Chains A and B, each alone.
Chain A
Amino acid sequence: MSDTKKFVYINRKAPYGTVYALESLEVVLIGAAFEQEVQLVFVDDGVYQLTKGQDTDGIGMKNFSKTYSALGDYDVNQIYVDEQSLKDRGLTMDDLQELTYEDEDDDWAEKSSMKLVNREQLADLISDADVLLNF
């Protein structure tokens, strides 16, 4: 097996209430230095991690939502959002932050990192993974 593997991070939980979202992001950022293929999936309450306008003042938690916008700079630009999870929560892509990256193969044009996927596509993503990390 080659030294490059496909790491798929499945983010399933709301950003606050448990530490999983924050500590998942920490793994993703550290892992980015290892030059592996990286895909992020947001599913179930995990879609809330990407919502715009998070304000944590009232709960005394650190608002780490701005960190997601740095992912593009770490070459983490394959971000998949489960369509059904959004729908179940009355959300659309418009409710989410727009995460982008600069495409070095296309004169550093700014492109969206985000893709809406259905359950079938999600299943394919998961079965194609070499390393699957659930948070």
Chain B
Amino acid sequence: MKFAIQINEGPFTHQAADTAYQFTKAALANGHEIFRVFFYHDGVNNGTMYGVPPIDDRNVQQMWSELAEEHDLDLVVCVAAAQRRGIMDEDESKRHGKGAANIAPKFRISGLGQLIEAGIQADRLLVFGD
């Protein structure tokens, strides 16, 4: 089956991103396709490369980057939600006169149209978060 994933909460406060990660991993292991993972609301905070959790805790952001690397996942951060919360790639950072980009490896910034397209293209869109 072709799944699309939407994540609406950031890392750590809610378990939503962890659950979405576990689901995505299990789906891939069982031969399913992940069309796209779309990060919305505070979910965009999963895409910052500056998270440094304690060494004995999981690093949710890094888990996503590694999974995406392994399976060539399309991790999309909503641009409007990201701008509100200060998640930026090089282009965005320059355009808004900020000092540096902070988006994590394998994440990309794009529009809400990517979420709608995922809803259209996937057999199921699964939403994680409040």
Q: What sequence of 0s and 1s flags, for each residue 96-135 of chain A, a beta carbon within 8 Å of any chain B beta carbon?
A: 0000000000000000000000000000000000111110
Pair B120/A36 contact, Cβ less than 8 Å: yes
Q: Report the bound CA distance from A132 to B122 in whole Å.
A: 13
Pair A20/B41 contact, Cβ less than 8 Å: yes
Q: Pick the contact of A133 from B81, B120, B127 — CB < 8 Å?
A: B127
Pair B113/A131 contact, Cβ less than 8 Å: no
Pair B40/A131 contact, Cβ less than 8 Å: no
Answer whether residue B116 sits at the interface, using C-beta atoms and an 8 A cutoff.
yes
- Min Cβ gap A98→B in Å is 27
Q: Report the bound CA distance from A34 to B115 in whole Å.
A: 11
* Residues 1-39 (chain A) with a chain B CB within 8 angstroms: 1, 3, 5, 7, 19-20, 23, 26-27, 30-31, 33-34, 36
Which A residues are CB-close (under 8 A) to B113?
30-31, 33-34
Chain A binding surface SS class: mixed
Q: Pick the contact of B40 from A3, A23, A33, A132 — CB < 8 Å?
A: A23
By size class, the interface of chain B is 10 to 19
Pair B116/A26 contact, Cβ less than 8 Å: no
- Min Cβ gap B36→A in Å is 13
Q: Report the bound CA distance from A23 to B85 in whole Å.
A: 13
Q: What sequence of 0s and 1s flags, for each residue 21-62 of chain B, a beta carbon within 8 Å of any chain A beta carbon?
A: 000000000000000000011000000000000000000000
**Contact A5 B120, CB 8 Å, known A20-B41, A131-B125, A134-B127:** yes
**Residue in chain B with minimal CB distance to A29:** B112
Pair B117/A26 contact, Cβ less than 8 Å: no
**Contact A131 B111, CB 8 Å, known A23-B40, A23-B41:** no
Q: Report the bound CA distance from A113 to B78 in whole Å.
A: 29
**Residue in chain A with minimal CB distance to B81:** A23
Answer whether residue B67 sits at the interface, using C-beta atoms and an 8 A cutoff.
no
Chain B residues with a Cβ under 8 A of chain A: 6, 40-41, 80-81, 111-113, 115-117, 119-120, 123, 125, 127, 130
List the 9 shortest-distance A-B pairs measured between CB atoms, nearest first.
Answer: A131-B119, A30-B112, A31-B116, A34-B116, A131-B125, A27-B112, A23-B41, A30-B113, A5-B120
What are 9 A-B contacts defined by CB distance under 8 Å?
A20-B130, A23-B41, A23-B80, A23-B81, A31-B113, A34-B116, A130-B119, A131-B125, A133-B125
